[in-house]
Structure 1
Amino acid sequence: MFSLAKKDLLSLGVFALIVLAMPFWLSPLGAAYPALMQKLAIFAIFAVGFNILFGLTGYLSFGHAAFLGIGSYTAVWSFKLLTMNVVPAVVFAVVMSGVFALAIGYLSLRRSGIYFSILTLAFAQMSYSLAYSVLTPITNGETGLLLVQGDPRVLDALFAEPRQGLPVPTLLGLDMSGYAGFYFCAAMLVIAFYLSQKIFASPFGLALRGIKSNQTRMNYTGFNTRPYTLAAFVISGMYAGLAGGLLAVTDPLAGAERMQWTASGEVVLMTILGGVGTLVGPVVGAWLIKYLENIFSAFNESILQRFFSFLPDGLDTFVVTVTSKFVGDGWHLTLGLMFVLVVAFLPGGIMEGIHRIVRSFQRRGDREPDGSLKAQPAE
């Protein structure tokens, strides 16, 4: 159950090393601060889970933000009613999101293709409307669900020493803020990636790939695909719930904006940009988009003027004027242009480009100095 193939084990080790070393390699990029690194880990979990549904089965959901929001609301209620310990909050967030995913998936998977996508979008928008205006006693409406000093926190009242001020989420006595919060999210990302590896390599994962390849043919052979697609939908929803719960762990509040259709569209962009159906691609896409959102959006003309100050007078003004349209408030233009280029020239996402580069070096290694192919030994 816990074993991995040697290649997958090596991939997991390299991935864990990269994730845990974020504070070091993100420092030159200006992104080595805990709040951003927490987002990078959390939205990578969101994208990895979405890829289990979209990448393996081909079912494109536009409603996964609903599970992200449900996970956040559940975690905050756990903090308010039970304890500030993050373990129950994360567990309840995953379970509750799985329950909602089971109900929504059971109804939505009666259809496929664009009809499935529209159904999931409709459920997500209904969830957003319920959270924003109908279920205000539970969600606190547009204000959002917040912690207050008078929350009961039954378990903390029984077993923990009272603290001055507003409590913060904790794990083993550590406040889940700053680097402690990041490393908790990073550990969750490594575990989520490992589980994704197991799913991809399992007979269950192979069945999902068969569904994506030709679901009609599988049905005609007597293979009941419905339980498999529903299981993939529920697992994907639980990943989204985990991401939502971690958002509440690092910043204990929950709002309806996390359920908006734009959040669902964002995870689609992350997966396609990185590489649908690949293990690492969705993580790369999530990191790239969140980096652009948090770093590129902070650039302004004064920063650009200092950066291009080495150019001759007049040319620097022109370059700054053009570049300013792609950063700051216009960072979405950079994202859109990047997405168009990837879809047009790298349909498999960034990971396809990386694989092409690796293959080109391998082909060079297979050639003699005169350019001819090396002789291969007979089998």
Structure 2
Amino acid sequence: MLVISRKDLLLFLGFAIVVLAMPIWLQPFGAAYPDLLNRFTIFAIFAVGFNILFGLTGYLSFGHAAFFGIGSYAAVWSFKLLSMDAVPAMIFAIVISGLFALAIGFVSLRRSGIYFSILTLAFAQMSYNLAYSVLTPITNGETGLQLTLADPRYLDRAFSAAPAGLPSPTLFGAPLTGYAGFYFCAGFLIIAFFIAQRITGSPFGMMLKGIKSNQTRMNYTGFNTKPYTLAAFVISGMYAGLAGALLAITDPLAGAERMQWTASGEVVLMTILGGAGTLVGPVIGAWLIKYFENIFSAINDGILMRFFAFLPDGADHVAVTIASKFVGEGWFLTLGLVFVLIVVFLPGGIMEGVRRIAALFNRSPKKPRHTPAQVQPAE
């Protein structure tokens, strides 16, 4: 498990360098501020975990936002009851999310295909409604679970006096704000990627790929596939719980909206857009969608007027009128068009396009066949 090939090592090191250098190479795209960088890393973890279930095993879940929301609630409750340190919050979130995934997966995996997807969607919607209205003493309903001055925080107050205002999450006393919070989340993204990489290349990962290829044939050969699918479901749920906890660490708030079916659909889009079954694809898909959501949605007519100022009078207004339909509140239209183009021309996602381009450069010119010289008969 610990032996890593040269190719996998280079991929991991390249991925780690790209992630750690995000504040630099995202600067020209206007996406280098900490809040957006945090979301890039957090939702990339969410997508990498979802890919273990969908991309490797072939089980499409429409309810993974439930574990994402549970992770957020668990982390905030850890802040309220125990300590503002991020480590107990993450451990608590991963364990609780894993237990919920075990229970939901045990029931949902009794079916496969569309029936499995519908079951996970039903559980997610039940979780959303429980958090929104039924379990309000625990979730604080539509207002969301927030920190208050009256929170006991037993571990913190056992060693220090209560602060004057609301505290913020820390890591062994160091505040996790600004770029410190980003590098904290980036470290966990790199770890999550490494674990997913090792799972993909392990015998367990080979078994998951076999289940995706033909689960019925594997059952006929005597393999019991249920423990493997349940393990993949739990691991994927724990990834989602970790992502939810990190979101609560960077923004100490947990709301029921994080458990809606739209949030589950978003991680499906991320995985398909980047390339299901690949390691880097879901990460690229998460970054692309979050970039559209936060950058394209912020573009208004004033920005467009400055951008098209080089056009003649009248033409600039026409260009702004057309472009405004694809940005601002219309950013979903741009994302939809991108998704349609990817699905139609690159069914394997963005990573299929990358493989095609790499194949063009790696294609070596055909060498002329060597024809042996004819031997002249002796005179």
Q: TM-score, normalised to structure 1's length?
A: 0.96
CA distance in structure 2 between the partners assigned to 1:220 and 1:100 by the alignment: 30
CA distance in structure 2 between the partners assigned to 1:174 and 1:210 by the alignment: 45
Give the residue type in structure 1 aligned to 2:252. P
SS in structure 1 opposite 2:54? helix
Counting only pairs closer than 5 Å after superposition, residues 102-251 of structure 1 correspond to structure 2 as 102-251=102-251
SS in structure 2 opposite 1:325? coil
Match of 2:73 in 1: 73
Q: Displacement, 1:161? A: 4.4
Give the residue type in structure 1 aligned to 2:188. M
Give the residue type in structure 1 aligned to 2:30. G
Match of 1:272 in 2: 272
Change in Cα spacing, 1:373 to 1:305, as seen in structure 2 (3 Å) is farther
CA distance in structure 1 between the partners assigned to 2:367 and 2:358 by the alignment: 18
Match of 2:4 in 1: 4
Unaligned runs of 5+ in 2: 371-379
Give the residue type in structure 2 aligned to 1:284. I
Match of 1:351 in 2: 351
CA distance in structure 1 between the partners assigned to 2:346 and 2:238 by the alignment: 30
- Map Cα deviations across residues 62-108 of structure 1 (whole Å, 9 max, x no partner): 00000000000000000000000000000110110000000000000
CA distance in structure 1 between the partners assigned to 2:50 and 2:200 by the alignment: 13
Match of 2:282 in 1: 282
Q: Report whether the alignment pairs 1:340 with 2:340.
A: yes
Change in Cα spacing, 1:309 to 1:4, as seen in structure 2 (3 Å) is same
Change in Cα spacing, 1:205 to 1:321, as seen in structure 2 (3 Å) is same
Match of 2:55 in 1: 55
Q: Displacement, 1:113? A: 0.4
SS in structure 2 opposite 1:263? helix
Q: Displacement, 1:374? A: 6.4
CA distance in structure 2 between the partners assigned to 1:280 and 1:159 by the alignment: 43
Q: Displacement, 1:319? A: 1.4
Match of 1:317 in 2: 317
Moved runs in structure 1, 4+ residues, more than 4 A? none
Counting only pairs closer than 5 Å after superposition, residues 91-102 of structure 1 correspond to structure 2 as 91-102=91-102
Q: Which moved more, 1:166-175 or 1:259-268?
A: 166-175
- Map Cα deviations across residues 299-333 of structure 1 (whole Å, 9 max, x no partner): 01110111011112222211111111000000000
Q: Report whether the alignment pairs 1:19 with 2:19.
A: yes
Q: TM-score, normalised to structure 2's length?
A: 0.96
Seq. identity, %: 74
- Map Cα deviations across residues 243-296 of structure 1 (whole Å, 9 max, x no partner): 000010000010000000000000000000000000000000000000000000
Q: Displacement, 1:176? A: 1.2
SS in structure 1 opposite 2:189? helix
CA distance in structure 2 between the partners assigned to 1:125 and 1:257 by the alignment: 11
CA distance in structure 2 between the partners assigned to 1:239 and 1:375 by the alignment: 54
CA distance in structure 1 between the partners assigned to 2:302 and 2:17 by the alignment: 36
Change in Cα spacing, 1:375 to 1:320, as seen in structure 2 (3 Å) is farther
CA distance in structure 2 between the partners assigned to 1:174 and 1:275 by the alignment: 37
CA distance in structure 2 between the partners assigned to 1:225 and 1:141 by the alignment: 39
Unaligned runs of 5+ in 1: none
Change in Cα spacing, 1:315 to 1:145, as seen in structure 2 (3 Å) is same
CA distance in structure 2 between the partners assigned to 1:136 and 1:334 by the alignment: 37
SS in structure 1 opposite 2:27? coil
Give the residue type in structure 2 aligned to 1:93. A
Q: Displacement, 1:172? A: 2.3
Q: Displacement, 1:160? A: 3.2
CA distance in structure 2 between the partners assigned to 1:160 and 1:73 by the alignment: 25
Match of 1:82 in 2: 82
RMSD: 1.1
Match of 2:32 in 1: 32
CA distance in structure 2 between the partners assigned to 1:11 and 1:91 by the alignment: 28
